[in-house]
Chains A and B, each alone.
Chain A
Amino acid sequence: MPSHPKLADEFIKDKERAKWHDQSLWFVRSKRDKAVHQLPEWELLREQASKIKSYVVSHLPDLLEEFEKNAKAKGVHVHWARDAKEHNEIVHSILEKHQVKRVVKSKSMLTEECHLNPYLERHGIEIVDTDLGEWIVQLQDKPPSHIVMPAIHIKKEEIGELFHEKLGTEKGASDPQYLTESARQRLRQKFIEADAGITGVNFAIAETGGFVVCTNEGNADLGTSLNKLHIACMGIEKLIPRASDLSVFLRLLARSATGQPITTYSSHFHGPAPDSELHIVLLDNGRSEIADSDEFRRSLNCIRCGACMNTCPVYRRSGGYSYSNTVPGPIGSILGAAHDTKANSSLPFACSLCASCTDVCPVKIDLHHQLLTWRKEIRLKGLLPLSKRLSMKMMSWMMQAPRLYQFVGKMARKIVPYLPRFLVYNPFNAWGKQRELPDMPKQSFREWMKQNHDRK
């Protein structure tokens, strides 16, 4: 897999696009700031949410059992999947049993994580993502680049072009209203034709056995109420203990995600409608392993609001695809490293450790510390490139020997100023590609001290 710096470098080559991407996401971050600064109790809410989630993650087995019991009592079919493969097989078998040929889906990053779409398509089932953004990337045959705004990286002119090609809209049209309306018409048709609806789950409530799906387009409701079969796919960490906890999370989620006070639709599902079937597939896929780890357990607090992506200066300038992971950005780098450390070993380094993600996260995940901890793990696992390992070793030796350190510094200060420019600014000097090196002073501070400062 190409490393993050390599993909980021490619993304930035188109400077204008990278700038535009940065600004679009910063706009969302600014909206978030305005929204949260209107709530004096914001930090209290975060604290509460963090405590509730930490409780959930450390009591997962009990709460899951409670949830299963209560969901079953409401007539919900509950399934357990260990990994992505099992998850897809379960979904497929339910669809097969009902002889479903067409499915509408409403935002679920979990099914992206499992690559459910291609799996079902291979089995002759049409599956349509009905969130506008996700449908756009589906039409492009690409994954989402952001977990809340899946098509944030695509310009409206490009969408016009895509729609012209796939939906037959007017050539050259880029008016969002016109394009959205055209998409709506086509999606409506898909809703009507479909035999089953798949949704994600934002919050599942152990106490009641019900769950909540938050959307801005209302497509979860449409997809599930027009059909007699609803399959909800959720990661096992999506639980909250009580119905009364929900208010905390609903207030945090939308504000963090888009700066809205609440998502337009928060749809509650407590059992199947008359004559209908409701299935829930609970997926582990490495989550219980993370729950067992003291260092990374807190990453399961994540409610997938996407705020850490919007604020991340690296994500904004490198785009979601540079992470090669279903969930990009700071939280994605942590989860990606946990899922496959070797393949994702460059992700924890795609971070300047500015810590803005940690301050923005509504459930108070210490994201930048976990990224730093991942760097240690990567070093321990021997996945750090030799060049980095060696240079750090050498630096450490030198710094343990003050005389050697002084000598090396002195030599550099003596030699570098006399070197011809092409020797200093060569292709091996990544610093010097777009930056000047500092001017070498005549003396170090300690040399100055010796000469000028009276020692006691």
Chain B
Amino acid sequence: MTVYESDLPGVGKKHEIELGDGSRLVVVTHNTGKREVFRRPDAEADSEKLFELPDQLARQVGTILEGAYFQPVRTGDIETLLGGDTLIEWVDVPDDSPLAGTTLGDADLRQETGANVIVVQRGDVTITNPGGDTEIRAGDTLLAVGPRDACRTFQSLVTDE
């Protein structure tokens, strides 16, 4: 697969992706953040517009295409690859979690799993950089960062699966 990038002065950038059957996918990223996606059946033909997305939606769709929202091998959580082997993982704390009611310090997750909790999301409240005395409650969402394996261990520890 080859991706061609070119500048569109005053508009933004254009990426053309070879699809392997002679056609190309053309993505025009406007300076405003809007993405327009076209398909060009062959070199001679005009590009046919498929759809357009605003910036935020384009990123979300991109994440889905990337496989971060849903990966066929696993379900139930969200992860984002930071690069290399490092993930950010969102894990919901279920009602029957063995960790519900303990503090981060007691659970000692970093020691146990190698993953580090960087945010605790509780309803509308976001606790960033939670300390050891932060309580883990059922219904919280924990954001953990760490190597892929550590995140797996972390997840099974929290959900007790």
Chain A partners chain B: no
